[in-house]
């Protein structure tokens, strides 16, 4: 009987634990004494049943009176997961949240931080306000989770498109940069000049196939050129391991080559299906989700090249 009880208790703890937090451990990367990258282990950029929706990278900046958090994840539990990891680093509360872009895997975890001020670009805030429910429904479908406790949080402070805004929060100087277009409408990058850290959201992804479907690749390449002019030491992509200058140069070359191949085929009178034959696929094949995204990526850029040459 006693043994049975012990077993039952163990099982209850295990089930309780599994229910409380079934997500993979946060990979904490210390950048300096007050800056940490919290990296998701899953090298993909979409929530699914296997990863439970934990796929994004967060940046944590610990200031004199509180914490600034960049991106919060794809639902409440992911937000709580990040919150626990931050509590291991500092007792200070998260007071400011910066959202890099409108895709749900980067901001639906904000609901776990009810006391924080949430900041994004104005285009991103508009998208969250109009499509927040749809974003939760998408994550529900992808993960199979009920997500009854997750609602989209509309950012209360915004930065307009095509601008750079300086801020000082808890003694940390930040520059929020919103390019006109790149990965999606209203991407916001966080530049921390003193620490030489740039958090880019999905304008950079590492070991993951970039998704062109909501973006403008031609302008995206220009943004990558601008990024490369910054004296950044640490580039934090939206998904995948941290990057250095050389990795960003390689990423820029990969996506610029993609655009130029599509443009070349178009201008020489070819058809969309010729693009795959002309692309150097050896580098793309190494990236996760290459097969799922290659068709839609070619289609999107083809339409853009058509419009750019109209
Ligand atoms: Zn993403």
| Residue ranges of domains in the chain, CATH in brackets | 19-308 (3.60.15.10)
Closest CA to 112 of 77, 156, 70, 152: 77
How much distance in Å is there from the Cα of 53 to the middle of ligand 1?
A: 11
How much distance in Å is there from the Cα of 13 to the middle of ligand 1?
A: 33
How much distance in Å is there from the Cα of 19 to the middle of ligand 1?
A: 25
How much distance in Å is there from the Cα of 4 to the middle of ligand 1?
A: 46
Residues 6-31: tens digit of each pLDDT: 444 444 334 434 445 689 999 999 99
How much distance in Å is there from the Cα of 72 to the middle of ligand 1?
A: 11
Regions in the chain scoring below 70 on pLDDT: 1-21, 43
Residues 160-201: tens digit of each pLDDT: 999 999 999 999 999 999 999 999 999 999 999 999 999 999
How much distance in Å is there from the Cα of 12 to the middle of ligand 1?
A: 35
- pTM for this prediction: 0.92
DSSP per-residue codes, the chain: -HHHHHHHHHHHHHHHHHHH--SPPPEEEEEETTEEEEE-S--SSS--TTTTT----EEEEE-SS-EEEE---SSHHHHHHHHHHHHTT-SS-EEEEE---SSGGGTGGGGG-TTSEEEEEHHHHHHHHHHHHHHHHHHHHHH----TT------SEEE-SSEEEEEEETTEEEEEEE-SSSSSTT--EEEETTTTEEEEEEEEESSB----TTS-HHHHHHHHHHHHHS--SEEEEEESS-B-HHHHHHHHHHHHHHHHHHHHHHHTT--GGGHHHHS-HHHHTTSBTHHHHHHHHHHHHHHHHHHHT-
* C-alpha 213 chain-centroid distance: 15
Look at residue 42 in the predicted model and tell me its pLDDT.
Answer: 73
Look at residue 74 in the predicted model and tell me its pLDDT.
Answer: 97
How much distance in Å is there from the Cα of 2 to the middle of ligand 1?
A: 49
CA 137 – CA 132 distance, rounded (Å)? 9
How much distance in Å is there from the Cα of 272 to the middle of ligand 1?
A: 27
Distances (CA, A) of 75 to 103, 130, 289, 310: 12, 18, 22, 41
How much distance in Å is there from the Cα of 305 to the middle of ligand 1?
A: 24
Look at residue 62 in the predicted model and tell me its pLDDT.
Answer: 98
How much distance in Å is there from the Cα of 167 to the middle of ligand 1?
A: 25
């Amino acid at each position: 009987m006693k043994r049975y009880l012990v077993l039952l208790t163990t099982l209850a703890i295990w089930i309780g634990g599994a229910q409380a937090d079934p997500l993979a451990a946060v990979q904490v990367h210390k950048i300096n004494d007050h800056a940490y990258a919290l990296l998701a282990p899953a090298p993909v950029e979409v929530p699914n049943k296997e990863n439970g929706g934990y796929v994004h990278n967060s940046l944590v900046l610990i200031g004199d009176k509180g914490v600034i958090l960049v991106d919060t994840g794809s639902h409440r539990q992911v937000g709580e997961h990040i919150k626990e990891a931050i509590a291991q680093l500092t007792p200070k509360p998260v007071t400011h949240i910066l959202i890099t872009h409108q895709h749900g895997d980067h901001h639906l975890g904000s609901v776990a931080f009810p006391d924080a001020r949430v900041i994004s670009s104005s285009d991103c805030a508009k998208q969250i306000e109009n499509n927040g429910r749809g974003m939760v429904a998408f994550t529900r479908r992808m993960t199979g989770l009920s997500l009854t406790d997750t609602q989209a949080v509309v950012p209360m402070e915004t930065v307009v498109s095509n601008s750079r805004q300086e801020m000082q929060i808890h003694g940390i100087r930040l520059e929020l940069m919103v390019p006109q277009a790149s990965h999606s409408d209203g991407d916001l990058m966080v530049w921390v000049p003193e620490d030489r850290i740039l958090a880019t959201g999905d304008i950079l992804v590492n070991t993951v196939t970039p998704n062109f479907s909501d973006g403008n690749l031609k302008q995206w390449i220009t943004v990558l050129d601008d990024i490369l002019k910054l004296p950044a030491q640490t580039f934090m992509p939206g998904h995948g391991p941290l990057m250095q200058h050389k990795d960003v140069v390689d990423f820029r070359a990969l996506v610029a080559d993609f655009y130029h191949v599509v443009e070349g085929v178009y201008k020489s009178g070819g058809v969309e299906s010729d693009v795959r034959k002309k692309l150097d696929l050896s580098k793309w094949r190494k990236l996760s989700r290459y097969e799922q995204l290659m068709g839609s990526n070619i289609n999107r850029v083809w339409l853009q090249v058509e419009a750019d040459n109209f």
